[in-house]
Amino acid sequence: MSGVSEDIEKRRQHRSQVAAVTYELYKEKHVLRQMRGRRLDEHCPPSLCATSDPDQPVILDGGWQRPSAGETEKHSLIRHLQVTVSLALLIQYDSVFQPGFCG
C-alpha cells in the first residue's frame, strides 16, 4: 500500500508544481499586457519626416513600433514558462496513461 500512497503523493507534488508554474505564466502575461498598454498610452502616433537620403526619402519618427527591452525579456520568459508547463503536463499525461496503471 505504501507504493500507492507514495505515487499519489508524488502526483500531488507534481500538480502543485505545475499549478505554481501556470500561475507564474499568467502573472507574467498580465505584466506584459500592462507594459504594452502603458507603451501605447504614453506615445503619440508616429510622424513622417522628410530626409535627404534618396533611398529612404521619408522615415517614421517616434511612435510605438518597437517593443522595449523589458517587453522582449517578458516575451522570452513567457515562452520559457509555456514550454515548462507543456513539458510538465506531458510528463503528467504519460504517467497517468502508463500500461498497468489502475487509477
Question: Does any domain span residue 101?
Answer: no
Mean pLDDT of 78-91: 90
19-35 residue pLDDT tens:
999 999 999 999 998 88
CA distance 44 to 22: 35
Residue 64 Cα to chain centre, angstroms: 21
pLDDT given at position 91? 82
Question: Does any domain span residue 67?
Answer: yes
Task: Indicate yes or no: pTM above 0.85.
Answer: no
Cell of 34: 500592462
Total domains in the chain come to: 1
Tell me how far apart the terminal alpha carbons of the chain are, to the nearest angstrom: 14
CA distance 25 to 17: 12
Question: Does any domain span residue 102?
Answer: no
Expressed as residue numbers, the domain containing 60 is 2-96
Query: Which of 56-60, 62-66, 75-79, 99-103 has maximum average pLDDT?
Result: 75-79
Whether residue 63 has pLDDT greater than 80: no
Question: Does any domain span residue 103?
Answer: no
SS3 string, 53-92, reads: CCCCCEEEECCCCCCCHHHHHHHHHHHHHHHHHHHHHHHH
